[in-house]
Amino acid sequence: MEAVLARAALLGTRLRARGETIAVSESSSGGLISAALLALPGASAYFMGGAVTYTATARGALAGITAEQMTGLRSASEPYALLLARTMRERLRTTWGLAETGASGPTGNRYGDAAGHTCLAIAGPVEMVRTLETGHGERWPNMLEFALAALGLLDEALSD
């Protein structure tokens, strides 16, 4: 957890210095990305909000993504992660939207992805998507790895 908090602190400082803001949607990281970004005093300068969109019900209620928008998409995929990132950015009117969606374990998901699978996306002045496969089904370590990878993607976007 220390690595996640340390990276988030650096990113929060960078966002604040740049005058940029972020919104987060996460599922299998369970709120760790948001919690880490909020752990830095003064986070309200850059963190506008986040949602744990762990279910279809949460996706609709918290992100406002409709069944029509999901046509041809499935959860835990790069296109879905990008939709989440774009939607959160738009809904909260932020510079950046960051999303994570996957299967933390100990088993995979109903789409056939193994535990340790997640898709990450950043939407903003640049857009990027990534898929991470940890290769193991240990839930808590996967959640931490997912959060760290999402923050890594944000770091990469801020460096472009």
pLDDT of residue 29: 97
Q: Indicate the domain borders of the chain.
A: 2-159
Residue 10: pLDDT over 90:
yes
Averaged pLDDT, 138-151: 98
Contact yes or no for 44/57 (Cβ under 8 A): no
Conformational region of residue 142, where left means phi above 0, alpha means psi within -120 to 50, and beta covers everything else = alpha
Residue 26: pLDDT over 90:
yes
pLDDT of residue 31: 97
Contact yes or no for 113/104 (Cβ under 8 A): no
Averaged pLDDT, 7-33: 97
Domain topology for 2-159: Maf protein (3.90.950)
Q: Where residue 35 falls among pLDDT bands split at 50, 70, 90? A: very high
- Please report, for residues 30, 116, 118, the alpha-carbon distance to residue 88 in angstroms, rounded to integers and kept in the order given: 16, 24, 18
Measure CA 75 to chain center.
Answer: 13
pLDDT of residue 160: 81
